[in-house]
Amino acid sequence: LLDTPDTNKETLMALAVGGGDRGILADLTLRWRKATKALTTYFYPLRGQDRKTGLFNITPNEDMEGGTGTGRLSSERTNMQNDPPAVQRCLRAPEGYLLRRGDYPQIELRCAAEISDDPTMLAALSDPDRDLHQETADRLFDGDRARGKVFNFKELYIGGPAVKAAYPRFYEWTREHWAEVQRTSYSVSPEPFLHRRFIPLMAGEHARMAAINHPIQSMAVYICKVIMVELFQAGSLLVNQVHDEVQDYVPADGNRDLQAREMAGIMEAVMQKYLPRAGGAKVDVKVSKYWED
């Protein structure tokens, strides 16, 4: 029906843009493939996890303290951080409960600013009216915020002339930290966490990037762990922790605004304790039946 020798994604996308009957058919084919992949890769495996309770559980890595090189929790089966938004929108809390999710904005950048003592980063992150991504873009990319955001999240740890130009004190910290790692073969996160990671120096540039990333990501990870402890001690039914988002169950008949403020208050207090200069942002808390509502 499509009258084409190839039905790969690029060909179908080109046909879909062209319109007409062939375009409609190409578009439907692309949608069908996307839906089929989601069903076979995510939906069906999750549905078969526990037919008695309707719940599914992860299988955490044995070393819960160091599931990854920075201490971030990880799992061998049903890694929730890999589930796309379409799948997350289908995951819901059990009857009688709602899912409460708290996310602290730009936590790793705030840890980077706190650790390095970079005055430019600290000033931007401590002022709610300033936008670090936009300021990075203004310095390096003629105001292109999207490029500034990519730079802050991906290229900041590489170092180099661009980092030196945008955030000179952070750049100097990367050099100081890398020199210490070369001397000891270990990267250590700041007090009070002091998470150590062995850095194989023979890995070259990859080792340098891992060394720079480690104390920043590890500090963010352990701050989230402290938040989980605080929530648990306050009576929380902890559910999950994905990246820097903490999730728990709350009663469905409770006051949603009050439930959101409770979690935000706990998270913001922890952030202020460990990030006194860079942790002034408000926590975004959502309370809903489904994960991605």
- The radius of gyration of the chain's CA atoms, rounded to the nearest angstrom, is 23
Place of tokens 């039914």: 237
What's the confidence (pLDDT) of residue 80?
A: 67
Place of tokens 């952030």: 271
Beta strands 284-288 and 97-103: pairing type?
Answer: antiparallel
CB count in 10 Å sphere of residue 197: 22
Name 242's bridge partners: 245
Compare 59 and 30 and report the one with higher pLDDT.
30
In sequence order, which residues have a C-beta less than 8 Å from that of residue 231 and are 6 or more positions away?
238, 246, 248, 263, 266
Q: What confidence category does residue 63 fall into, taking pLDDT thresholds of 50, 70 and 90?
A: low
The predicted-structure confidence for 175-201, as pLDDT tens digits, reads as follows: 999 999 999 999 999 999 999 999 998
The predicted-structure confidence for 202-236, as pLDDT tens digits, reads as follows: 878 889 999 999 999 999 999 999 999 999 999 99
pTM listed for this prediction? 0.82
**Nearest-angstrom CA–CA distance, 204 and 208:** 7
